[in-house]
Amino acid sequence: MLLNREDVTSLLQLDDYVEVVENAFRAYAEGETLDLGLLHVDAPDGEFHIKAGGPEKPRTYFGVKVNAGFFQNRKRFGLPNIQGTIILCDGDNGYPLAFMDSTAITINRTGATTAVAAKYLARPESRSVTICGCGTQGRIQLRHLKGILPIELAYAFDFEASVAEGFASDMSRELEIEVRAVTDLGSATKKSDVCVSCTPAKEYFLKLEDVPPGMFVAAIGADSPGKQEIDPRLMASGTVVVDILSQCAEVGELHHAIEAKIIDRDRVHGELGEVIVGRKPGRTSSDEITIFDSTGTGLQDAAAAAATYERALESGKGTYFDFFASA
């Protein structure tokens, strides 16, 4: 089956992604998934991420995603900065079931993962959030957080002020909340319950002194060794939860804190799946700073691709194609 971007976008809603992601991390914690794979390849003007994995219940699927990150694309060629594809296979016999655009899945499973982490790590009464990075991912992050927390006020910060202003105008109208564009990040975070960083930055900009007690920080952008958004000292100041420990130690914010000899892997509170199944506690006090290091996994991609494929079968969407048909 071939599924283009329009097909994929139409098949799952925001709530579907939250359910799929939470179930995927639960399955991982309970040992009901295939092994995960991660490969990073640099290119002259960008990078490629290859991520693989899959759920085992109720049916075994294997998915591999190839995503390209070329962050000058939109300005230079009018192409998306991030684009790619997912191949979904039957995990029992290896047959390729579907080839699909990865854009909507990558965007939505990332936002949904933040929402799941916020469910366990943010103060449930959180009403204000600072979004750092006001592109497509910043928009989906705010939409997902609005669905899980009683958000009433959002601050929009971007390295291009005009982008933040456009974000504030669009999202305030769409979500019917107050969204303010800001140029002073610290002044915004000090008044926020939640902070999400989702940029391609290569040097940290969220400083330890700008994070108030009780904040939930979701660090999304660092998904390769050269990316960094948050002060490594933050990792030692609060409770650190990661999506996948081994992966974050190689490419996430944890990687930078370890490299700076500020903390080691043993200092990490746990993985998100462990919190979901109750093996590790989530937030334990209102003043606790909680930090979620999210690097993105092939498991999330495969689980969302499997759900998309099953919806396509039910609805009749997509183009059927036999990969092994004889000429």
Q: In angstroms, rounded to a whole number, what is the distance separating the alpha carbons of residues 87 and 102?
A: 9
Q: Which of 108, 143, 113 is nearest to 129 (CA)?
A: 143
Indicate the helix (H) or strand (E) that contains 84: strand 82-90
64: CB partners within 8 A, 6+ apart: 37, 50, 51, 52, 86, 87, 298, 302
Integer Cα distance of 79 and 99 in angstroms: 20
Active-site choice (51, 65, 227, 280):
65
DSSP β-bridge partners for residue 131: 156, 196
The answer to whether 8 and 105 have CB atoms below 8 angstroms apart is yes
Single out the residue of 319, 327, 301 nearest to residue 55, CA to CA: 301
DSSP at 55: B
65 catalytic residue (yes or no)? yes
Q: What does the alpha-carbon distance between residue 142 and residue 118 come to, in Å, rounded to a whole number?
A: 12
Are 309 and 316 in contact by the 8 Å Cβ rule? The answer is no
Q: Which two tokens stand for residue 146?
A: 């609005």
- In one letter, which amino acid is 222? A
Q: Which of 295, 271, 291, 284 is nearest to 27 (CA)?
A: 271
Contact, 102 vs 65, CB < 8 A?
yes
Q: Residue 272 — φ and ψ, nearest 5°? A: -60, -40
The residues that are catalytic are 65
